[in-house]
Copies of this chain bind each other. A is one copy, B any other.
Amino acid sequence: MNSVSEHKFSERFTFEELTEESTPRRIVESAIEEIGVNGLSGVTTKGISQRANLSTGIIHHYFDTKDNVVYAAYVYLIHDLHQSALAVFRQESDSRERLLAMIRMNFTSLHISPEARDVWPQFWAHAAHDERVGRLLRVYYNRFHSNLAHALKQLLGDQYKARQVASLLLSSIQGMWFTHRFTSYPEDMEDAVKLLEEHLDRLIRAYS
């Protein structure tokens, strides 16, 4: 999480605290629920405090502003995906298996949960008009792209091709997640994953 942790914004809170049972973590988990249910425009410190069963004073103590809590919520989601990616690299040594697992983790981990899945669209919307949030989103995609490219390099041999296919795969995963969430193409999540797996194999064949 180095590049993310650097975005430190409060003397009384570090992103490390999100990884353990702590008051900041409890606040951030409540913020995720609030953002998911009410959207960015409906989130208030009061709403977060009620959900966390804490005073608004405690929230201000740790995060200073509501914007900082929301930002920490995005960091929390990104951290979760990053942990999933690390686990994939630890558990799988085969490159194709690693790629399949990286596809799957977008449809199985925390961020497809009822609480968190609707935070992502708020994150994107926020990134469109807030520089700090936009930078965070790019950090996440850069890291995901580089993980995909690393595994693809083993399969395709060539660095340039690996980065090209990583871009194609990244946009397909994003698009499939989106159309599954907001439309019925495809309705079933298992179908979404299967289509991406077939897509991966087609790309590997086309670029080998």
Contacts and interface: CB of A to CB of B under 8 A. Distances in A.
Interface of A: 36-42, 118, 121-122, 124-130, 134, 137-138, 141-142, 145, 166-168, 170-176, 178-186, 195, 199, 202, 206
27 contacts: A36-B129, A39-B130, A40-B40, A40-B41, A41-B41, A42-B129, A118-B128, A121-B121, A121-B124, A121-B125, A121-B128, A124-B124, A125-B125, A134-B182, A141-B179, A141-B185, A145-B185, A167-B185, A168-B195, A170-B175, A170-B185, A171-B172, A171-B179, A171-B180, A171-B185, A172-B175, A175-B178
A174 B167 contact: no
A182 B170 CA distance: 12
A64 to B, nearest CB: 18
Contacts of A185: 141, 145, 166-167, 170-171
Contact of A183 (B41, B138, B183): B138
Given A39-B40, A174-B178, A167 B142 contact: no
Q: Which 10 A-B pairs have the closest CB atoms?
A: A175-B175, A125-B125, A171-B175, A167-B185, A41-B41, A141-B183, A118-B128, A174-B175, A121-B125, A171-B179
A38 B40 CA distance: 12
| Count of chain copies | 2
Nearest to A70: B41
Nearest to A138: B183
A129 B124 contact: no
Contacts of A130: 39
B170 A172 contact: no
A145 B175 CA distance: 14
A171 B134 CA distance: 22
Contacts of A138: 182-184
A127 B39 CA distance: 9
Nearest to A144: B183
